[in-house]
A and B are shown apart, each in its own frame.
Chain A
Amino acid sequence: MAPDPKAFRAESARALGNAALRANYRNATQRVRSRRDERMSELTDLPALRGIGQAAKRRALARLPDLLEQLEERLTRRGVQVHWAETTARANAIVLEIARRRGARRVVKGKSMVSEEMELNHFLAGHGIEALEADLGEFIVQLAGQLPVHLVVPAIHMNRQEIARLFQDKLAVPYTADVQELTRIARRVLREKFQQADIGISGVNFAVAETGTLALVENEGNGRMVTSVPPVHIALMGIEKVVERLEDLAPLVRLLTRSATGQTITSYFNWLSSPRRPGELDGPEEVHVILLDSGRSAIYRDAQLRETLDCIRCAACLNVCPVYQRIGGKAYGSPYMGPIGKILTPQMAGLDRAGHLAGASTLCGACYEVCPVQIPIPDLLLRLRQEASQPTAAGRALLPGAGGGRSAGEALVWKGWQVLHDRPAAYRLFTRLAGLLGAVLPEAALGAAGPLSTWRKARALPVPARRTLHDLLADRPRQ
């Protein structure tokens, strides 16, 4: 599913009408939120820490091209092969080239948002290569033939009974809705796969330029498996993931794990820097890093939009978003959903195709309040709404599809508004008519099929007062 305004409305309506689905989302997001709040409340220096996390990202972005070169140099010196991809298609082609050269048939993959951007599983399957998800949540959605609906908890929309039936169907095991038992089943299946895989693929949470280190944050151990057991490891990362110094990891991981799952730290914080060295008994013989641009360098050129690239993918903004909680993750038609998806997807996929996502917000600001690196998401939503219908010159040059959301009807309404407010006589005439006709006209003109019918479904139409504020003030006795 790609971002599409019609599909967004249809899927939102479907999700809103599904009480069981809404309960799954409500329960799960509430639980993550309360865990996150509990961990955050333990920090006495939270405001300072958020500022430091944000500063670490900004400092890295301020020198991004230099740091990418430094990272490449450090990694290359140790025998890691670094690839650059401008598009997801190119990134896929690089993975396929490696797979063909190795004669690979089976790939096992840890959690990676960039691989979702690339639609890598689908691409590899089309070339006869099995790509299996190893993260439990990703494994579940892949088994169900779906896509992840949450950045951190991919199968957050399914309850244990649904997962039990899925395992029974697809893995030919007896029905069990016991979570420990379901986890054991997945462990058994995936253990085999780790050992058979020709290639392991992972994402990257932070890449440290200073030391040439790829840092992966995880709880399950699938990230350690895919980077340790198969003979080849391919790490996929967006170019914005680089940080300057090893020391930056301390505040960033502190913010990330607390925000994502409410943990002080995850079970594993895994730092990788090279292929297997002489004398070492395990680890991959070959390590590749694919640096993906896919629109990021365009976002980078605008001071305000650049803040989008501060994101560390903790998903705290999803868990507090009143829209995400109700419509779920599928409607967004993008690997990035919820508030961060609303600012990231339109910039990557184009405002003409995905500009509607920036509109799907109440601008309540909960996402900004919770963001560990203080991304001003509501400001960015407003900027994108503007670029979609009336681009600033820079916006047109920067963003694909800028101006593509312009609607002739909406433009006409605003033009009319401008005319009325420019001309006092026209304005007085309009308000007088509205006062006189307001009580009778709307039902006829704006009834069930009128232009405001959707808006009116859940709202009463305001009736213009018979007398305007100007009139009332004019009648008031002067002091």
Chain B
Amino acid sequence: MPAPTDSAAANAAARERILTRLRQGMAAVPARPEVLELDEDWLRRQPPLGDPAERFLREQQSVGSQVLRVPTWEALPAAVAPWFREHGIASAITGRVERLTPLRRHLAELGVTVRTYDKPLEQQRGEVFGTDCGITTSAGGIAETGSIILVPGPEEPRLLSLAVPIHLALVERARLHATLGDFIRSGAYQRAVPTNLVLVSGASRTADIELTLAVGVHGPRLLLVALIG
């Protein structure tokens, strides 16, 4: 194995050669000016979506998610409790989110074991991979495609929405964007690029065997979505 300095030098040399070839190519094929323009009209188009909240939930339902609407955060615990009975959810895990305290308390009263993902994965692997339902808030949603915008971070780590068989996502109506383009143009992502952002538009699915749909291949088999507001 070459010493690190050798591989650093090899890397710099490869970088130089690749970029040189590309610069020659750039010079050989002058770009037409129209290629460099953005089609602002298309990017700003507003497709007819109807009511964004209705559209968002309809898109989620069309890929098998269960959805409900609640008027306020206060009404949330009682509204989602029936899901826990219906799906036999015995354990749930959340991040360190103040806002979820009433929900956690309510679930505990119903006999659900409620855990917190508050230590590094390496120290909490068993609980993270061994809980029935992960509950997360979100940074909003995209109406056109029914996508939930998750921005995992210290308070709500990535695996809360991935390692569990059932994911309950809480989305505020006020934070719905009409299209992916609208969300991008809001500039929220560019202002403070997070380690990870993921748009979730349904449960984990595959059609790799005879193009037959199967859910829960690696991530959750069921997505529950509560739209608040």
Q: Which residues of A contact B (CB under 8 A)?
A: 27-28, 31-32, 45, 48-49, 51-52, 55, 58-59, 62-65, 68-69, 78, 83-86, 90, 94, 96-97, 100, 134-137, 140, 153-156, 159-160, 163, 179-180, 182-184, 186-187, 190-191, 194-195, 210-213, 219-222, 224-225, 228-229, 239, 245-247, 249-251, 253-254, 261, 264-277, 279-283, 291, 293, 297-298, 300-303, 306
Contacts and interface: CB of A to CB of B under 8 A. Distances in A.
Contacts of B35: 55, 58-59, 62
Nearest to A74: B193
A273 B207 contact: no
Contacts of B24: 301
B211 A32 contact: yes
B112 interface: no
A269 B147 contact: yes
Nearest to B195: A274
Contact of A55 (B22, B29, B39, B180): B39
Contacts of A78: 193
List the 6 closest A-B pairs by CB distance, nearest first: A221-B219, A62-B31, A137-B208, A221-B218, A297-B21, A183-B214
A180 B25 CA distance: 50
Contact of B25 (A179, A268, A300): A300
22 contacts: A59-B35, A59-B36, A63-B26, A90-B14, A153-B208, A184-B216, A187-B217, A213-B193, A221-B220, A225-B219, A250-B180, A269-B199, A273-B195, A274-B193, A280-B154, A280-B195, A281-B119, A300-B29, A301-B25, A301-B29, A302-B28, A306-B29
B19 interface: yes
A282 B216 contact: no
Contacts of A51: 39
Interface in B206-224: 206-212, 214, 216-220
- Considering residues B125, B179, B190, B218, which has the most beta carbons from chain A within 10 angstroms of its beta carbon? B218
A265 B181 contact: no
B117 interface: yes
B62 to A, nearest CB: 9
B85 interface: no
Interface stretch (B68-76, B101-109, B157-165): B157-165
Contacts of A228: 158-159, 162, 196
B9 to A, nearest CB: 12
Contacts of B157: 280-283
A270 to B, nearest CB: 5
Contacts of B125: 195
Given A221-B219, A268-B219, 19 more contacts: A28-B210, A32-B211, A52-B42, A55-B35, A62-B26, A90-B10, A160-B209, A221-B220, A228-B162, A250-B179, A265-B145, A268-B199, A280-B195, A282-B121, A282-B157, A283-B196, A301-B24, A302-B28, A303-B28
Interface string B4-34: 0001001100110111011111101101000
A51 B42 CA distance: 11
A40 to B, nearest CB: 15
A224 B160 CA distance: 12
Given A45-B42, A247-B43, A273 B194 contact: yes
A249 B180 contact: yes
Given A220-B204, A293-B18, A301-B29, A97 B7 contact: yes
A302 B24 CA distance: 10
Question: For B31, B45, B219, which residue has the most chain A Cβ atoms within 10 angstroms?
Answer: B219
B26 A65 contact: yes
B193 A224 contact: no
B16 to A, nearest CB: 9
Contact of A282 (B158, B180, B194): B158
B197 interface: yes
B198 interface: yes
Contacts, number: 258
A134 B154 contact: no
Contacts of B115: none
Contacts of B17: 86
Contact of A69 (B19, B144, B181): B19
B21 A267 contact: no
B181 A268 contact: no
Given A210-B190, A277-B195, A247 B209 contact: no
Nearest to B119: A281
B210 A179 contact: yes
A267 B200 contact: yes
Contacts of A31: 211
B19 to A, nearest CB: 5
A180 B29 contact: no
B95 to A, nearest CB: 9
Contact of A140 (B45, B190, B200, B208): B208
B66 to A, nearest CB: 15
A100 B184 CA distance: 39
B205 interface: yes
A270 B184 CA distance: 14
B211 A247 contact: no
Contacts of A280: 152-154, 157, 195
